Amino acid sequence: MSEPTRVGRIDFVNSDPVYHGIETGEVEADIRLVEGFPAALNEMLARGEIDIAPVSSIEYARRSDDYYLLPDLSVSSRAEVGSVSLFSSVPAEELDGATVALASTSATSVVLLKILLDERYGVSPEYIVREPDAEAMLAEADAGLVIGDHALLAERDDETDAHVYDLGREWREHTDERMVYAVWAVRNDVPRSEALGVAEALQESKRVGYEAIDTIASDLAERMSLDPGYARSYLGMLDHDLTPSHIRGLTKYYEKAERIDEIETVPEITVKK
C-alpha cells in the first residue's frame, strides 16, 4: 500500500472551511494533514517534508519553476480580511525611518505591507522580524504586523489606541483588486494523479465546509471567545476560490512585489486540472 499524501494545513481558522469536510470525516481522502503556520509550511514544502501545501502566494512566485497550483483553492479576501493587521502607534504616513516588526509566521503579508507603505504611504521604515505578538511588537517597535489567529486575537484584546490597518482593505482601496494570500502548491515531483486526487478531496471538503459555514462560525466564536456575529462576518470576508479575478489580483501583487525587488520576475501562474 502506498503512503498517504502529506498535505499541509495552515494552523489558522482562515483555513477551517477548506478542511471541514475532511476533518469531520464527511469527505474521505488518503492524506495525512501536517499543521503549521504559513512560513513553516513554505519551508516544509520546499524541503520535501510534505507534498502539497497552502503556501504564501509570494512563496509560489519564488519557486514557480518547482511548483504548480491546484485549481479552485486559495486563501483570499475581496476587501477587508480581518486577520492581516498592522498595529501602529502612529499614523502610517509617519512611519518613515521608524521600526516596523514583521510576524515570523508570514511571507505574503510582509511583502504586501512593504508595497503599501512604499506606494500608498510613501514611507520606508526599518523592518525587523519578530514572534507574532502585537503587544510585544509595539513595546519594541513603532508598528507590528500580525496575521491569522494572532491578528484576530490581538484585535479582540486591543485596549491601546494604536492605529489598526486592515491590509486586505488597504489593498482593495489601492488597486481595486482582490488579495490572494495563499495558494495550494504541489512540488513537480509529486505524481500528477496523486495531486489531483487530493485537489478533488479538498474541493469537496470546501463545498461541505461552506454548507456548514454557520456551524464553523459558532465553533470559532466559542473556541476563540469572539462575538458570534463577528466570527460569522470574519468568515464572510474570506474566500477560498481561484477564479480569473483572483489571478488578476495576484498578478497585480506580483508586479508590485517585483518593482520593490521582493521577487526577480513575475511568474507564470500554472494551475493544473
The residues that touch ligand ISJ, with contacts defined as CB under 6 A, are 10, 12, 14, 38, 56, 75, 81, 83-84, 106-109, 147-148, 181-182
CB 264, min distance to ligand ISJ, A: 19
CB 14, min distance to ligand ISJ, A: 4
CB 5, min distance to ligand ISJ, A: 20
Instruction: Give the dihedral sign, CA 28/30/36/38.
Output: negative
CB burial readout 139-155, b (16+ within 10 A) else e: eebbbbbbbbbbbbbbb
Rg value, the chain, Cα: 18
CA pair distance 47, 30, nearest whole angstrom: 22
CA distance readout (Å), 248 to 32, 81, 144, 255, 271: 32, 18, 28, 11, 14
Shorter beta-carbon distance to ligand ISJ: residue 14 or 205: 14
Note the Cα 196 to chain centre separation in Å.
22
Q: Which helix (H) or strand (E) holds 126?
A: strand 126-130
Shorter beta-carbon distance to ligand ISJ: residue 36 or 125: 36
CB 193, min distance to ligand ISJ, A: 27
CB 42, min distance to ligand ISJ, A: 8
CA pair distance 153, 23, nearest whole angstrom: 23
Shorter beta-carbon distance to ligand ISJ: residue 6 or 150: 150
